[in-house]
């Protein structure tokens, strides 16, 4: 029995300021995710209903089952109508909003089974909140016992949904139209995961779904204290008779922090990313490197969420400069200052730090990333 998924991708993207359907989230777009879940749920053919804006994108999409791309219409019902025309010959049509791209594949299967048995299968959630009708004056609490929120997919016997679309005018969803012409749709238990990505809040919800547990990295660096160099720690120039020797500005605190961040994100280390054999990095402000590190992390769909560091330094006293360091680091990493910690300790005259030969720093970073779901 052939089952065709009609994926509605023609919706306007203006509400979020970018195209929510074709912008990758953890490497895959909402359209790719929705196409995959329809296939996993039992569709053996797809019709992708797009817009002028995303037609080229849809044509280039690779799919595990045969698929057709058609242009949608001004209204949702026009898009469904065009999709149904292209699905000609199937027995069950599964209509799905591409923006509901985290719908469990099990829900698709359940809708298809329901359509086989009852003629229709409409994903719907019982309403748990109290629902009121008010215009600011009148106020009525509705009995929620028989109230549902419909979602998609909505699956129907092909011939019947085509007849419904032929005989009825537009409606907010396919189930409403089916009701007018064919009969009462059969509901299938829905899922909060079938949420439609419409607002920025929905987009953040989707990102949160894909977030991994925090990953932790450590970093360590040490530089020699010499005369004739500036002492720069955490981007703060500290008045002192000596400074740290290095190819860059030798900001040992930032270097340890970069290694901690790279360690958490498994991106290698500072020497690999910014080799000291590269003339571009001669004398460079290490804050530039820190910002580049944060960018590298973001490009991997990850973000730094917290850093902590300890500087081992006998002299000079660093306490007066700690807050300025934290401000610099927070600004470069895009973090609130409460998530950036810097501490300093002497080594009580012991070790090379204690004898004033060098300054070293230890750092820890937490990174969260998006994972494939």
Q: Shortest Cβ distance from residue 215 to Mg ion (Å)?
A: 23
Cβ pair 67, 32 in contact under 8 A: no
Q: How far is 154 from 5, CA to CA, in rounded Å?
A: 10
Q: Shortest Cβ distance from residue 314 to Mg ion (Å)?
A: 19
Q: Select 30 or 252, whichever has its Cβ closest to Mg ion.
A: 252
Candidate segments 46-54, 85-93, 227-235, 255-263, binder of Mg ion by CB under 5 A: 255-263
Q: Shortest Cβ distance from residue 212 to Mg ion (Å)?
A: 29
Cβ pair 261, 307 in contact under 8 A: yes
Regarding 287 and contact with Mg ion (CB under 5 A), the answer is no
Long-range contacts of 321-324 (CB under 8 A, 24+ apart): 321/233, 321/234, 321/236, 321/238, 322/234, 324/234, 324/236
- Per CB under 5 A, contacts with Mg ion among 317-336 are none
Specify the DSSP element, H or E, that contains 68. strand 67-71
- Of the candidates 366, 11, 50, 34, which has an alpha carbon nearest to the alpha carbon of residue 206? 34
Q: Shortest Cβ distance from residue 276 to Mg ion (Å)?
A: 8
Regarding 362 and contact with Mg ion (CB under 5 A), the answer is no
Q: Select 82 or 360, whichever has its Cβ closest to Mg ion.
A: 360
Cβ pair 6, 96 in contact under 8 A: yes
Q: Shortest Cβ distance from residue 48 to Mg ion (Å)?
A: 51
Candidate segments 17-25, 31-39, 106-114, 221-229, binder of Mg ion by CB under 5 A: 221-229
DSSP state of 280: G
End-to-end CA distance of the chain: 29
Contacts with Mg ion by CB under 5 A: the residue count is 2
Cβ pair 90, 21 in contact under 8 A: no
Q: Select 97 or 221, whichever has its Cβ closest to Mg ion.
A: 221
Regarding 97 and contact with Mg ion (CB under 5 A), the answer is no
> CA angle 39-44-47, nearest 5°?
85
Contact string 117-156 vs Mg ion (x = CB under 5 A):
----------------------------------------
Contact string 99-118 vs Mg ion (x = CB under 5 A):
--------------------
Q: Shortest Cβ distance from residue 223 to Mg ion (Å)?
A: 6
Specify the DSSP element, H or E, that contains 286. helix 286-299
165: helix, strand or coil: helix
Regarding 221 and contact with Mg ion (CB under 5 A), the answer is yes
Q: Select 255 or 326, whichever has its Cβ closest to Mg ion.
A: 255
Rounded-to-5 percentages of helix, strand, coil across the chain: 35, 30, 35
Cβ pair 92, 116 in contact under 8 A: yes
Contact string 165-194 vs Mg ion (x = CB under 5 A):
------------------------------
Contact with Mg ion (CB under 5 A): which of 255, 287, 326, 368? 255
Candidate segments 247-255, 312-320, 337-345, 356-364, binder of Mg ion by CB under 5 A: 247-255
Residues of the shown chain interacting with Mg ion in the complex, contacts defined by CB under 5 A: 221, 255
């Amino acid at each position: 029995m052939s089952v065709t998924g009609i994926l509605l991708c023609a919706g306007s993207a203006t509400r979020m300021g970018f195209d929510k359907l074709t912008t990758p989230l953890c490497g895959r777009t909402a359209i790719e995710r929705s196409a995959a879940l329809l296939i996993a749920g039992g569709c053996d053919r797809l019709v992708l209903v797009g817009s002028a804006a995303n037609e080229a994108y849809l044509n280039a999409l690779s799919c595990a089952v045969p698929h057709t791309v058609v242009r949608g219409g001004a209204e949702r019902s026009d898009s469904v109508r065009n999709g149904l025309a292209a699905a000609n010959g199937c027995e069950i049509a599964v209509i799905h909003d591409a923006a509901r791209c985290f719908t469990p594949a099990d829900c698709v299967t359940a809708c298809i089974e329901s359509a086989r048995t009852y003629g229709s299968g409409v994903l719907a959630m019982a309403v748990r909140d109290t629902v009121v009708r008010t215009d600011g004056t009148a106020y009525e609490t509705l009995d929620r016992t028989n109230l549902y929120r419909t979602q998609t997919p909505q699956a129907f016997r092909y011939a019947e949904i085509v007849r419904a679309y032929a005989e009825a005018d537009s409606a907010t969803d396919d189930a409403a139209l089916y009701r007018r012409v064919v009969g009462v749709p059969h509901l299938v238990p829905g899922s909060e995961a079938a949420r439609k990505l419409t607002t920025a809040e929905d987009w953040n919800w989707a990102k949160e779904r894909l977030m991994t547990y925090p990953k932790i990295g450590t970093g360590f660096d040490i530089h020699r204290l010499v005369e004739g160099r500036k002492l720069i720690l955490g981007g703060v120039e500290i008045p002192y008779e000596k400074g740290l020797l290095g190819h860059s500005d030798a900001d040992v605190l930032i270097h340890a922090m970069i290694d901690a961040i790279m360690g958490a994100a498994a991106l290698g280390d500072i020497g690999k990313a910014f080799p000291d054999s590269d003339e571009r990095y001669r004398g460079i402000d290490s804050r530039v490197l820190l910002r580049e590190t944060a960018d590298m992390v973001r490009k991997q769909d990850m973000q730094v969420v917290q850093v902590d560091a300890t500087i081992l330094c006998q002299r000079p006293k660093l306490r007066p400069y700690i807050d300025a360091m934290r401000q610099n680091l927070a600004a470069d990493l895009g973090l609130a200052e409460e998530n950036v910690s810097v501490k300093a300790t002497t080594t009580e005259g012991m070790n090379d730090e204690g004898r004033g030969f060098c300054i070293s720093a230890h750092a820890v970073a937490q990174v969260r990333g998006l994972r494939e779901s």
